Structure 1
Protein backbone atom coordinates (compact mmCIF):
# COMPACT_ATOMS: atom_id res chain seq x y z
CA UNK A 1 0.00 0.00 0.00
CA UNK A 2 2.81 2.43 0.82
CA UNK A 3 4.22 2.05 -2.71
CA UNK A 4 0.89 3.14 -4.16
CA UNK A 5 0.46 5.92 -1.63
CA UNK A 6 3.96 7.38 -1.71
CA UNK A 7 5.10 6.23 -5.14
CA UNK A 8 8.71 6.72 -6.06
CA UNK A 9 9.31 9.06 -3.14
CA UNK A 10 9.10 6.34 -0.49
CA UNK A 11 11.77 4.33 -2.29
CA UNK A 12 13.87 7.47 -2.80
CA UNK A 13 13.76 8.24 0.92
CA UNK A 14 14.93 4.71 1.80
CA UNK A 15 17.81 4.92 -0.66
CA UNK A 16 18.84 8.42 0.41
CA UNK A 17 18.88 7.27 4.03
CA UNK A 18 21.14 4.34 3.18
CA UNK A 19 23.40 6.60 1.10
CA UNK A 20 23.66 8.98 4.08
CA UNK A 21 24.98 6.08 6.14
CA UNK A 22 27.60 5.17 3.54
CA UNK A 23 28.79 8.76 3.23
CA UNK A 24 28.96 9.11 7.00
CA UNK A 25 31.04 5.95 7.17
CA UNK A 26 33.38 7.30 4.50
CA UNK A 27 33.87 10.56 6.41
CA UNK A 28 34.43 8.73 9.70
CA UNK A 29 37.12 6.56 8.09
CA UNK A 30 38.99 9.35 6.31
CA UNK A 31 42.15 8.56 8.30
CA UNK A 32 41.84 4.76 8.28
CA UNK A 33 44.64 3.19 6.24
CA UNK A 34 43.34 1.02 3.40
CA UNK A 35 39.71 2.10 3.78
CA UNK A 36 37.84 1.97 0.49
CA UNK A 37 35.18 4.68 0.16
CA UNK A 38 31.83 3.56 -1.24
CA UNK A 39 28.77 5.32 -2.60
CA UNK A 40 25.49 4.47 -4.25
CA UNK A 41 24.68 5.26 -7.85
CA UNK A 42 21.37 6.73 -6.77
CA UNK A 43 19.73 6.71 -10.22
CA UNK A 44 20.55 3.02 -10.74
CA UNK A 45 19.36 2.08 -7.27
CA UNK A 46 16.10 3.96 -7.68
CA UNK A 47 15.50 2.43 -11.10
CA UNK A 48 16.08 -1.06 -9.69
CA UNK A 49 13.85 -0.37 -6.68
CA UNK A 50 11.00 1.00 -8.78
CA UNK A 51 11.51 -1.88 -11.23
CA UNK A 52 10.58 -4.36 -8.52
CA UNK A 53 13.85 -5.22 -6.78
CA UNK A 54 13.77 -5.33 -3.03
CA UNK A 55 15.66 -2.66 -1.11
CA UNK A 56 18.81 -4.66 -0.38
CA UNK A 57 19.14 -5.98 -3.95
CA UNK A 58 18.72 -2.47 -5.37
CA UNK A 59 21.35 -1.09 -3.00
CA UNK A 60 23.78 -3.94 -3.61
CA UNK A 61 23.55 -3.62 -7.39
CA UNK A 62 24.15 0.15 -7.25
CA UNK A 63 26.93 0.33 -4.64
CA UNK A 64 30.27 1.36 -6.11
CA UNK A 65 33.76 1.92 -4.74
CA UNK A 66 35.04 5.44 -5.19
CA UNK A 67 37.93 6.01 -7.55
CA UNK A 68 40.08 8.74 -5.97
CA UNK A 69 41.35 11.67 -8.00
CA UNK A 70 44.60 11.55 -6.08
CA UNK A 71 45.69 8.21 -4.65
CA UNK A 72 46.90 8.23 -1.05
CA UNK A 73 50.01 6.42 0.10
CA UNK A 74 48.13 4.32 2.66
CA UNK A 75 45.50 3.04 0.20
CA UNK A 76 42.62 5.07 1.66
CA UNK A 77 40.31 6.32 -1.11
CA UNK A 78 38.36 8.87 0.95
CA UNK A 79 38.68 12.42 -0.33
CA UNK A 80 37.14 14.38 2.52
CA UNK A 81 36.01 17.42 0.53
CA UNK A 82 34.22 15.23 -2.04
CA UNK A 83 32.55 13.18 0.69
CA UNK A 84 31.38 16.30 2.51
CA UNK A 85 29.97 17.73 -0.70
CA UNK A 86 28.15 14.48 -1.51
CA UNK A 87 26.82 14.36 2.06
CA UNK A 88 25.46 17.91 1.86
CA UNK A 89 23.89 17.29 -1.53
CA UNK A 90 22.26 14.09 -0.30
CA UNK A 91 21.00 15.82 2.87
CA UNK A 92 19.27 18.50 0.80
CA UNK A 93 17.69 15.89 -1.48
CA UNK A 94 16.61 13.84 1.57
CA UNK A 95 14.98 16.90 3.10
CA UNK A 96 13.18 17.75 -0.14
CA UNK A 97 11.86 14.19 -0.47
CA UNK A 98 10.72 14.21 3.15
CA UNK A 99 8.91 17.51 2.63
CA UNK A 100 7.12 16.10 -0.39
CA UNK A 101 6.09 12.97 1.55
CA UNK A 102 4.81 15.11 4.42
CA UNK A 103 2.63 16.94 1.92
CA UNK A 104 1.26 13.62 0.68
CA UNK A 105 0.49 12.50 4.22
CA UNK A 106 -1.29 15.78 4.97
CA UNK A 107 -3.36 15.38 1.79
CA UNK A 108 -4.41 11.87 2.83
CA UNK A 109 -5.26 13.07 6.34
CA UNK A 110 -7.45 15.86 4.94
CA UNK A 111 -9.16 13.39 2.62
CA UNK A 112 -9.88 11.04 5.51
CA UNK A 113 -11.36 13.92 7.51
CA UNK A 114 -13.51 14.87 4.54
CA UNK A 115 -12.00 18.31 4.09
Structure 2
Protein backbone atom coordinates (compact mmCIF):
# COMPACT_ATOMS: atom_id res chain seq x y z
CA UNK A 1 0.00 0.00 0.00
CA UNK A 2 2.74 2.45 0.94
CA UNK A 3 4.66 1.69 -2.25
CA UNK A 4 1.64 2.83 -4.31
CA UNK A 5 1.39 6.05 -2.30
CA UNK A 6 5.11 6.61 -2.69
CA UNK A 7 4.92 6.02 -6.44
CA UNK A 8 2.13 8.60 -6.64
CA UNK A 9 4.33 11.27 -5.06
CA UNK A 10 7.65 10.23 -6.66
CA UNK A 11 7.54 12.68 -9.56
CA UNK A 12 6.71 15.67 -7.35
CA UNK A 13 9.34 14.71 -4.79
CA UNK A 14 12.08 14.32 -7.40
CA UNK A 15 11.05 17.60 -9.08
CA UNK A 16 11.31 19.43 -5.75
CA UNK A 17 14.70 17.84 -5.05
CA UNK A 18 16.02 19.02 -8.43
CA UNK A 19 14.57 22.51 -7.86
CA UNK A 20 16.22 22.69 -4.42
CA UNK A 21 19.57 21.63 -5.88
CA UNK A 22 19.24 24.23 -8.64
CA UNK A 23 18.36 26.90 -6.07
CA UNK A 24 21.56 26.09 -4.17
CA UNK A 25 23.63 26.45 -7.36
CA UNK A 26 21.99 29.77 -8.24
CA UNK A 27 22.57 30.99 -4.67
CA UNK A 28 26.24 30.08 -4.97
CA UNK A 29 26.44 32.00 -8.25
CA UNK A 30 24.94 35.12 -6.66
CA UNK A 31 27.18 34.80 -3.58
CA UNK A 32 30.28 34.55 -5.80
CA UNK A 33 29.39 37.44 -8.12
CA UNK A 34 32.57 39.30 -7.07
CA UNK A 35 34.91 36.29 -6.88
CA UNK A 36 37.61 36.53 -9.57
CA UNK A 37 37.62 33.51 -11.89
CA UNK A 38 34.33 32.08 -10.60
CA UNK A 39 32.33 30.33 -13.33
CA UNK A 40 28.52 30.52 -13.03
CA UNK A 41 26.98 27.04 -12.86
CA UNK A 42 23.47 25.72 -13.51
CA UNK A 43 21.65 22.48 -14.30
CA UNK A 44 19.25 21.62 -17.08
CA UNK A 45 16.09 21.01 -15.03
CA UNK A 46 14.31 18.69 -17.46
CA UNK A 47 17.41 16.56 -18.12
CA UNK A 48 18.20 16.37 -14.40
CA UNK A 49 14.64 15.40 -13.49
CA UNK A 50 14.45 12.78 -16.24
CA UNK A 51 17.80 11.34 -15.15
CA UNK A 52 16.78 11.25 -11.48
CA UNK A 53 13.50 9.53 -12.32
CA UNK A 54 15.25 7.06 -14.61
CA UNK A 55 17.86 6.31 -11.95
CA UNK A 56 15.22 5.83 -9.27
CA UNK A 57 12.91 3.86 -11.59
CA UNK A 58 10.01 6.21 -10.88
CA UNK A 59 6.91 6.54 -13.00
CA UNK A 60 5.99 9.96 -14.35
CA UNK A 61 2.57 11.49 -13.75
CA UNK A 62 -0.26 10.60 -16.11
CA UNK A 63 -0.11 12.41 -19.41
CA UNK A 64 3.69 12.58 -19.49
CA UNK A 65 6.07 10.24 -21.25
CA UNK A 66 7.99 7.95 -18.94
CA UNK A 67 11.75 8.64 -18.98
CA UNK A 68 12.37 4.91 -18.86
CA UNK A 69 10.20 4.32 -21.91
CA UNK A 70 7.69 1.93 -20.37
CA UNK A 71 6.18 0.67 -17.17
CA UNK A 72 8.60 1.84 -14.52
CA UNK A 73 8.96 0.16 -11.17
CA UNK A 74 7.82 2.17 -8.16
CA UNK A 75 10.33 4.46 -6.49
CA UNK A 76 11.81 3.13 -3.28
CA UNK A 77 10.69 4.98 -0.17
CA UNK A 78 12.89 8.00 0.46
CA UNK A 79 14.43 7.96 3.89
CA UNK A 80 14.77 11.07 6.03
CA UNK A 81 18.24 12.54 6.46
CA UNK A 82 20.10 10.18 8.70
CA UNK A 83 23.55 8.90 9.57
CA UNK A 84 24.43 5.61 7.92
CA UNK A 85 27.60 3.63 7.31
CA UNK A 86 30.04 4.75 4.67
CA UNK A 87 32.65 7.33 5.70
CA UNK A 88 35.40 6.92 8.29
CA UNK A 89 35.71 9.62 10.94
CA UNK A 90 39.12 10.73 12.16
CA UNK A 91 39.70 10.74 15.91
CA UNK A 92 42.04 13.48 17.08
CA UNK A 93 41.46 13.25 20.84
CA UNK A 94 41.23 10.30 23.23
CA UNK A 95 37.58 11.09 24.05
CA UNK A 96 36.43 11.04 20.40
CA UNK A 97 34.31 8.12 19.22
CA UNK A 98 35.46 6.29 16.09
CA UNK A 99 32.93 5.18 13.51
CA UNK A 100 31.71 5.14 9.95
CA UNK A 101 29.04 7.68 9.02
CA UNK A 102 27.47 9.15 5.91
CA UNK A 103 24.75 11.78 5.76
CA UNK A 104 22.20 11.10 3.01
CA UNK A 105 19.58 13.82 2.42
CA UNK A 106 15.95 12.98 1.75
CA UNK A 107 15.44 11.91 -1.85
CA UNK A 108 18.94 10.55 -2.28
CA UNK A 109 22.35 12.02 -3.04
CA UNK A 110 22.34 15.32 -4.92
CA UNK A 111 25.02 14.08 -7.35
CA UNK A 112 22.25 12.52 -9.41
CA UNK A 113 20.79 16.00 -10.04
CA UNK A 114 24.03 17.75 -10.91
CA UNK A 115 25.42 15.21 -13.36
CA UNK A 116 24.52 17.41 -16.35
CA UNK A 117 26.09 20.41 -14.55
CA UNK A 118 26.82 23.18 -17.02
CA UNK A 119 28.68 26.45 -16.94
CA UNK A 120 26.70 29.49 -18.01
CA UNK A 121 28.01 31.34 -21.08
CA UNK A 122 28.42 35.00 -20.12
CA UNK A 123 26.74 37.70 -22.19
CA UNK A 124 29.53 40.11 -21.30
CA UNK A 125 32.54 38.43 -19.63
CA UNK A 126 34.33 40.29 -16.86
CA UNK A 127 38.02 41.08 -17.03
CA UNK A 128 38.67 39.03 -13.87
CA UNK A 129 37.26 35.85 -15.45
CA UNK A 130 34.02 35.84 -13.43
CA UNK A 131 31.04 34.75 -15.57
CA UNK A 132 28.24 35.64 -13.11
CA UNK A 133 25.68 38.11 -14.49
CA UNK A 134 23.70 39.22 -11.43
CA UNK A 135 20.63 40.18 -13.44
CA UNK A 136 20.47 36.76 -15.11
CA UNK A 137 21.07 34.94 -11.83
CA UNK A 138 18.37 36.90 -10.00
CA UNK A 139 15.82 36.19 -12.73
CA UNK A 140 16.73 32.48 -12.76
CA UNK A 141 16.59 32.40 -8.94
CA UNK A 142 13.13 34.00 -8.85
CA UNK A 143 11.85 31.74 -11.65
CA UNK A 144 13.14 28.63 -9.89
CA UNK A 145 11.64 29.74 -6.57
CA UNK A 146 8.28 30.29 -8.26
CA UNK A 147 8.37 26.83 -9.82
CA UNK A 148 9.39 25.32 -6.47
CA UNK A 149 6.38 26.98 -4.79
CA UNK A 150 4.10 25.73 -7.57
CA UNK A 151 5.45 22.21 -7.09
CA UNK A 152 4.88 22.42 -3.34
CA UNK A 153 1.31 23.62 -3.91
CA UNK A 154 0.63 20.78 -6.34
CA UNK A 155 2.07 18.18 -3.98
CA UNK A 156 0.13 19.63 -1.02
CA UNK A 157 -3.08 19.52 -3.05
CA UNK A 158 -2.45 15.86 -3.94
CA UNK A 159 -1.91 15.01 -0.28
CA UNK A 160 -5.05 16.91 0.81
CA UNK A 161 -7.10 15.16 -1.88
CA UNK A 162 -5.88 11.74 -0.76
CA UNK A 163 -6.53 12.55 2.91
CA UNK A 164 -10.03 13.74 2.02
CA UNK A 165 -10.71 10.52 0.13
CA UNK A 166 -9.40 8.41 3.03
CA UNK A 167 -11.36 10.24 5.73
CA UNK A 168 -14.63 10.41 3.75
CA UNK A 169 -14.64 6.62 3.35
CA UNK A 170 -14.21 5.95 7.07
CA UNK A 171 -17.57 7.40 8.24
CA distance in 2, matches of 1:109, 1:60: 34
Q: Distance in 2 between matches of 1:44 and 1:65?
A: 15
Deviation at 1:21, TM superposition (A): 0.8
Matched, 1:81 2:135: yes
User: Once the two structures are superposed, what CA deviation does each residue of 1:29-85 show, in whole Å capped at 9, x if it has no partner?
Assistant: 111111111001101101101112565343232211111111110010100000001
After TM superposition, the structure 1 stretch with the greater mean CA deviation from structure 2, 70-79 or 103-112, is 103-112
1:3 deviates by 4.3
1:42·1:62 contact (CA, 8 Å) conserved in 2? no
Q: TM-score, normalised by structure 1?
A: 0.90
- Which structure features the higher share of helix residues? 1
Aligned to 1:108: 162
Q: Give the match for residue 92 of structure 2.
A: none
Alpha-carbon distance in 2 for matches of 1:9, 1:30: 31
Give the whole-Å Cα distance in 1 for the aligned partners of 2:38 and 2:111.
Answer: 23
- Look at both structures and tell me which one has the larger radius of gyration over its CA atoms: 2
Q: For the aligned residues, what is the CA RMSD?
A: 1.7
Aligned length: 115
The alignment's TM-score, normalised by the length of structure 2, stands at 0.62
Structure 1 unaligned segments of length 5 or more: list them: none
Check conservation: 2:121, 2:131, Cα contact below 8 A. Answer: yes
